[in-house]
Amino acid sequence: MADNKENAIVTSQVDLESTAADLSPEKKGTNDDQRDMFRMGKHQELRRNFRFVSIFGFSMILMASWETMLGTSIIGLINGGTAGMIWLFLVAWICFLAVNTSMAEMGSMAPTSGGQYHWVSEFAPRKYQKFMSFIVGWLCVLGWQTGAATQVRGTSRQSPDISLLAHALIPHIAFLAGTQIQGLVILNYPDYTPERWHGTLLTFAVASFSVFFNTFLVKKLPLVEGIVLIVHVFGFFGVLITLWVLGPIANASDVFTTFNNYGGWSSDGLSAIVGILAVMIPLLGADGAVHMSEELRDASKVLPQSMIWTTILNGSMGWIILITFCFTLGNLDDVIDSPTGQPYIAVFYNATQSYAGASVLSALVIFMAIFCNLSITATASRQLWSFARDQGIPGASWFAYVRPGWDVPLNSIVVSFVVSCLLSLINIGSTIALNNITSLSLVAILSSYIVSIGCLFWRRLTYQPLLPAKFTFSRPVGLFLNGFSLIFLVFAFLFAFFPGNPDPTVEQMNWASLIYGGVMVFAVLHYYVQARHVYDGPVEYVRKLV
């Protein structure tokens, strides 16, 4: 076992069995679950009612690759075109398979709701464990919470706005679901004039549904995830078959070789790379299942299986639906400039030539977006709760409260709901301000990936011992996977700050760099002024079984 702490608490099997005896049957999990929690110094507070199928469904719905790809396609059509999206999706898929495999290995070593900040605490150099863990914890909180308002509308060839995508990291995609509903209304009622406050109210409705389900109906969550997984799969085939049978089919050579550079970059290649964010977003969110690991039976085994299979299957579905979308696109100008604000709705209508048919297909995508938000509310609240449990945020005891009987972090769920609603309110006054705030989400999550995988890479590179795991790699294979993942993540991190064109206006500028820097300065100051006196880091509570 990796001994990151010289004075680690040494305990015995008797202590482990004594602690497990106090748990109710639905919280015990397997012997390995009990051992993992005991080693990490954590008390089991949540029910372990997820199994492989339910957590697999949870992960598939959270990533929702084929549905999200349809929603983010407008950015790729502007920067990259059909060829850029298709080939870069394949590249991003392969890279994210390496990233998620690295994350899955760490999840098998330490299956905890804390995820990245806990792993950093155990794997980072001893001197920097506490500080790095704290910063990564805040990055995860910010990444999952500030993504509450997601919108990919309002982009055109004349004003490509990459910041709209930069915050489209599916956390709390209530706003995206709301604006998609508006697009569906526009399709059926062309005289309807969408107002920003309409989207905000729809956000409230979607977010409220998620909170209701994550509290009053939380015991049904694993069952629902399994059922919605079926909708996810059958919906994919429904859209796929409809578009191929009814839609206009483009020439294969045009689809696979045509690049667009409506952003006005110096070359088609650079334009396509800027547009790579459109195909990255549908592949993000693997750490969502990690934050549910304390509610999963046999987590050290099932969690990595779920993460890897989710990446393989969701990625394949996303790529297939993207190719189908590009083949049945029709007139590109009409699709990009569609009054619905959603290219996929225009493509559905062009294929079916029926408002009813297009509405049914669009409603399916919106349905999945709503349930994706349900999964993300669960994930964001567990991550916040876990960090509070380790004294990482002010008012930690309040955030870490678990309601007896429901066995859910009620206060953290409510906070996730409030953050979602508050950020959507900003949209009423200024869409620019909303974009500036929520663009932090993508870079924050990518940063947490980089630091946690970087710490694992460092341990392997310096021949430091690693924790035992049911899913792990030899040193050479692990070094390759971790190193390859880091190269891709740093590349993606840098391009996440790019605007949609080389000469952006104030409205078109991607302000993620300014916001990210400001938040990091605040986090560092908060750490040195107050947090370092109360935050010890998870590694301080690790036990060594003898």
In this structure, of 1-10, 86-95, 405-414, the range with the lowest mean pLDDT score is 1-10
The mean predicted confidence, pLDDT, of the chain is: 87
Question: Averaged over 462-488, what is the pLDDT?
Answer: 96
- The single-letter DSSP state of residue 157 is S
What is the C-alpha end-to-end distance of the chain, expressed in Å?
11
Residue 95: name the closest of 287, 300, 284, 291 by CA.
284
Residue 312 is assigned to a structural domain of this protein? yes
Residue 242 is assigned to a structural domain of this protein? yes
Angle between helices 299-327 and 31-39 (to 10 degrees): 100
- Beta strand extents in 286-334 (DSSP E only): none
CA angle 489, 490, 494 (to 5 degrees): 115
Question: Averaged over 484-508, what is the pLDDT?
Answer: 87
Distance CA 111, CA 297 (A): 11
In Å, how far are 40, 293, 304 from 110, measured between CA atoms?
8, 9, 11
- Which comes out higher in pLDDT, residue 159 or 218? 218
Non-local CB neighbours of 365 within 8 Å, separated by 6+ positions: 67, 70, 71, 180, 235, 239, 344
- Which comes out higher in pLDDT, residue 174 or 92? 92
Structure tokens at 287: 């750490």
Q: In sequence order, what are the beta bridge partners of 296?
A: 50
pLDDT band at residue 162 under the 50/70/90 scheme? very low
What is the pLDDT at residue 15?
56
Residue 176: name the closest of 340, 325, 366, 358 by CA.
366
- The single-letter DSSP state of residue 496 is T
SS3 403: strand
What are the tens digits of pLDDT across the range 345-395? 999 999 999 999 999 999 999 999 999 989 999 999 999 999 999 999 989
Question: Averaged over 389-414, what is the pLDDT?
Answer: 93
User: What CATH number is attached to the domain comprising 282?
Assistant: 1.20.1740.10
pLDDT band at residue 503 under the 50/70/90 scheme? confident
Q: In sequence order, what are the beta bridge partners of 403?
A: 408
Q: Are 289 and 378 in contact (CB under 8 A)?
A: no
Distance CA 432, CA 41 (A): 44
Q: Which domain holds residue 236?
A: 9-545
- Which comes out higher in pLDDT, residue 291 or 261? 291
In this structure, of 61-75, 78-92, 493-507, the range with the lowest mean pLDDT score is 493-507
pLDDT over threshold 50, residue 149: no
Q: How many CA atoms lie within 13 A of 388 on its CB side?
A: 21
pLDDT band at residue 19 under the 50/70/90 scheme? low
Residue 3 is assigned to a structural domain of this protein? no
Structure tokens at 394: 């002010």
What is the pLDDT at residue 432?
58
- The single-letter DSSP state of residue 158 is S
pLDDT over threshold 70, residue 132: yes
Residue 286: name the closest of 36, 72, 99, 90 by CA.
99
pLDDT band at residue 513 under the 50/70/90 scheme? confident
Question: Averaged over 246-264, what is the pLDDT?
Answer: 92
pLDDT over threshold 80, residue 56: yes
Q: How many CA atoms lie within 13 A of 74 on its CB side?
A: 32
Cβ atoms within 10 Å, residue 23 = 17
What is the pLDDT at residue 498?
83
Residue 381: name the closest of 403, 406, 405, 399 by CA.
399
Residue 340 is assigned to a structural domain of this protein? yes
Q: Is the dihedral of CA 34, 40, 46, 50 positive or negative?
A: negative
- Which comes out higher in pLDDT, residue 159 or 145? 145
Structure tokens at 16: 């482990």
What is the pLDDT at residue 352?
95
What is the pLDDT at residue 296?
96
What is the pLDDT at residue 169?
39
SS3 349: helix
Residue 1 is assigned to a structural domain of this protein? no
pLDDT over threshold 90, residue 94: yes
pLDDT over threshold 70, residue 76: yes
pLDDT over threshold 60, residue 161: no
- Which comes out higher in pLDDT, residue 310 or 438? 310
What is the pLDDT at residue 72?
85
Task: State the DSSP H helix or E strand holding residue 544, giving kind and residue range, or none if neither.
Answer: strand 543-545
Residue 38: name the closest of 112, 103, 105, 116 by CA.
112
Number of domains in the chain: 1
Distance CA 59, CA 215 (A): 19
- The single-letter DSSP state of residue 506 is T
Residue 346: name the closest of 332, 327, 367 by CA.
332
pLDDT band at residue 287 under the 50/70/90 scheme? confident
Residues in the chain: 546
SS3 289: helix
SS3 133: helix
Residue 2 is assigned to a structural domain of this protein? no
Non-local CB neighbours of 438 within 8 Å, separated by 6+ positions: 146, 147, 148, 149, 150, 167, 423
Task: State the DSSP H helix or E strand holding residue 27, giving kind and residue range, or none if neither.
Answer: helix 25-28
Question: Averaged over 289-302, what is the pLDDT?
Answer: 96
What is the pLDDT at residue 435?
56
What are the tens digits of pLDDT across the range 422-474? 888 877 776 655 555 556 778 899 999 999 999 999 999 999 999 999 999 99
Distance CA 66, CA 59 (A): 13
Residue 431: name the closest of 168, 76, 150, 224 by CA.
150
CA angle 435, 364, 282 (to 5 degrees): 45
- The single-letter DSSP state of residue 294 is G
Residue 26 is assigned to a structural domain of this protein? yes
SS3 9: strand
Cβ atoms within 10 Å, residue 233 = 15
What is the pLDDT at residue 22?
63
What is the pLDDT at residue 434?
58
* Single-letter amino acid, residue 121: S
Residue 475 is assigned to a structural domain of this protein? yes
Distance CA 544, CA 541 (A): 10
- Which comes out higher in pLDDT, residue 154 or 358? 358
Percentage of the chain exceeding pLDDT 70: 89
